[in-house]
Structure 1
Amino acid sequence: MKAKVSVVILNWNGKHFLEKFLPTLIENTNIPNTEIVVADNGSTDGSKDTLEGFKSVKKIYLDKNYGFTGGYNRALSKIESEYYVLLNSDIETPKGWLEPMIEFMDATTEVAACAPKLLDYHRKQYFEYAGAAGGFIDLFGYPFCRGRILSEVEKDHGQYDTPMPIFWASGACMMIRSELFHAVGGFDQDFFAHMEEIDLCWRLQNHGYKIFSVPQSYVYHVGGGTLPNNTPFKLYLNYRNNLWMLHKNLSLRALLVVIPIRLVLDWLSALVYLFTGKFSFFKSVLKAHHHYFSKISTLNTKRKSEKRLYSAIRYKGLILVDFFIQHRRKFSKINFY
């Protein structure tokens, strides 16, 4: 019988996380018509042997590392269920973590995807960087969250416990209607990893659907478990994919304004890396810009194929100005609406 909910972990060399968190996930996901699937993305650390010890877990073995985007697209094409829950391998799931999201999605039809409250595994009273209580982007495409503005992470006092529309749900833990995931083409595989969930959520909203935060559900995220934080490669992916995402999804009028300014801002940050001796990070920005311009033709083709209703909830302000000049470093201090 087809499951209603498939919790899908895309694993790449995460044997230690599987050993640590998979038993708890199995114990706390004992819900009728719900299955747990682990798709292994060509791991070489013995993950396959570890997975074979979990008899109740379904397995999908991919022949190589296709990245977050290609790995999930391939895995989800083999899974039939009403809802997918994309879950990082470095997440601890407490008892009752999934039920609020299922109940919320069952009660709505206009919501394509939702996310739980993402808390820090190491500091459980704090939000976690990758998603906190729901994500947004500003006028120039800089992402931020309820509970995390740039590098400033808030303590969770229940201040963001109200469900609300958001711009993006973190790929660390996201529940999405399977039909809509496939209808919009899934993840953009050119992204490989990073920003891909923001691009997906933007496209879903351009098709008239909403993304929601459901903080009654919460999980604990280690962070940096699949790709280490603060590496030149991660910086490259973030800069490149952000430009690709903006080029694909902005209106033509906004594109002609936003992209030139964003390129200048990127260069300013690159110069900071250069003058502070972080040469590998400086080269990452240059490489990201090179690969942005080299893909202009492909990006223009993708723009033509995308539907746009411009219903996406974007912050019309500048988060860099809020943070550095006006010292508004909490989501509650931002004049969002």
Structure 2
Amino acid sequence: MTGRACVVVLNWQGRNYIRDCLRAALAQTYEDARVIVVDNASTDGSREIVRDEFPEATLVPLPENLHFARGTNAGVETALRDPECAYVMTLNNDTRMEPDALAALVAGMRDPRVGVVAAKLLFMDTGRINSAGISPTFDGSGVDRGWMQADKGQFDAALDVFGASAGAAVYRREALDRVGLFDGDFLAYYEDLDLAWRLRLAGWEARFAPGARVHHTYSASTSPRAIWKTYQGERNRIWNLVQNYPWRYAAVAVPWNASRVASALGRHLLRKRSPHTDSPTLSAFTSAIIRARLDAYAGMPRALEKRRRRRASLWVDPRAVGRWLRTYGVRIRDMPFD
């Protein structure tokens, strides 16, 4: 495969990670590559590190923190202004790519129907899987394929997946031109899931490239169990459901989500205390969920307008969604709790 690949790294307060990330990104074996770093108004000196120590990278300094979706979009837009750019890779700043990762991701684009290729994201120095693609659920949320499993070769097959984690994924330029970039209203979390749905609904496919190994610190910018993350995930789950699911499947989401929450609550109550010192209290978690749902409902007119626009350019039969949920979907009992 040929064509320029632009690697977009979003940085915020990444002083402890950005050097390793950029050294690895700039040392890729894929020859026609360009690295673009978007800095989300960092104040820890990481912007200056990029500017002074990595002149090969294009720095896009932002005047304020636009969070993941809008910040990454600023970098993708910079990449797409390059007429030679054929592929855009999104990459977290707390990652370290193995030398052949980008080449493996671009090779996954061999089939012209593929719009995105997912890397094998591994938790840094643990041998456990962070993501081998993303899977949808019946209530609008998504799950990382292989989450927390020991990497013993069970995810070494290159195959079709529902979508990709934006922590390390390559998107085809034509696909982005067709469906657009990340939904800026999401700010952070599930923006990659929403984009995966839009790509699928527009007729594009997704692949997993097991040879594209990327090591990830995970939630370096925020605690994995932060209340803000809980709020964002719940609000964006509802918007993703409304904007992308056919109504026949959206209706199933209410009882499915109720069962999922009840299952999670039951597992929570069975444990005397959380093993994580940063886990929120049950009252704080409940408050975040309530606020998220109220804000999601307040934003429903905009979500419904997006749905209307997307339906106008739909390329697949809505019945295909049922096949996707059966093929790639996750059962309640298989939903991760932590």
Q: Structures share a fold, TM > 0.5?
A: yes
Q: Deviations over 1:52-89 (max 9, x none)?
A: 22111111111111111111122211222110010001
2:155 matched to which residue of 1? 160
Residue 59 in structure 1 maps to residue 71 in structure 2: no
| Map 1:1-337 → 2, pairs under 5 A | 4-27=4-27, 29-52=28-51, 53-79=53-79, 80=82, 81-105=85-109, 107-123=110-126, 125-128=127-130, 131=131, 133-148=132-147, 153-259=148-254, 261-262=256-257, 265-266=260-261, 277-307=281-311, 308=314, 309=316, 310=318, 311=320, 313-315=324-326, 319-322=331-334
CA RMSD of aligned residues (A): 2.5
- Does structure 1 conserve the Cα–Cα contact (< 8 Å) formed by 2:139 and 2:250? no
Distance 1:192 1:315 in 2: 29
Deviation at 1:183, TM superposition (A): 2.2
Q: Which runs of 5+ in 2 are unaligned?
A: 274-280
Equivalent in the alignment of 1:333? none
**Contact residue 17 and residue 89 of structure 1 kept, 8 A:** yes
In the alignment, is the contact (CA less than 8 A) between 1:270 and 1:281 conserved in 2?
no
Q: CA deviation at 1:296?
A: 1.5
Deviation above 6 Å: which 4+ runs of structure 1?
270-276
Work out whether residues 30 and 100 of structure 2, in 8 Å CA contact, stay in contact via their aligned partners in 1: no
8 Å contact 2:116–2:172 — kept in the other structure? yes
Q: What's the TM-score, normalizing by structure 2? A: 0.85
The structural deviation recorded for 1:138 is 2.5
SS in 2 for 1:98: helix
Deviations along 1:163-204, one digit per CA (max 9) or x if unpaired, are: 111112011101001232232121111100001101101100
2: CA distance, partners of 1:304 / 1:323: 30
Q: Residues of 2 paired with 1:122 and 1:142: CA distance?
A: 28
Q: Deviations over 1:117-137 (max 9, x none)?
A: 1111130x2212xx2x22212
Tell me if the contact between 1:139 and 1:315 (Cα under 8 Å) persists in the aligned partners. Answer: no
Q: Relative to structure 1, is the Cα distance of residues 6 and 262 closer, same or farther in structure 2, using a 3 angstrom cutoff?
A: same
* Equivalence for 2:276: none
Distance 1:234 1:157, change over 3 A: same
SS in structure 1 of the partner of residue 129 of structure 2 = coil
Q: Give the CA deviation at 1:10.
A: 0.7
Which consecutive residues of structure 1, in runs of 5 or more, have no partner in the other structure? 330-337
Q: Distance in 1 between matches of 2:163 and 2:290?
A: 27
Q: Could you state the TM-score of these two structures normalised by the residue count of structure 1?
A: 0.85
Quote the Cα distance in structure 2 between the aligned partners of 1:137 and 1:25: 29
Distance 1:16 1:257, change over 3 A: same
What is the CA–CA distance in structure 2 between the aligned matches of 1:323 and 1:60, rounded to whole Å?
A: 37
Contact 1:120 1:127 in 2 (8 A): yes
Letter in 1 for 2:119: P
Percent identical: 26
- Give the deviation of 1:102 after TM superposition: 1.5
- Give the number of equivalent residue pairs: 313
Distance in structure 2 (CA, Å) of the matches to 1:219 and 1:168: 17
Asked if the contact 1:168/1:198 (under 8 Å) is kept, the reply is yes
Using the alignment, how far apart are the partners of 2:205 and 2:231 within structure 1?
Answer: 29
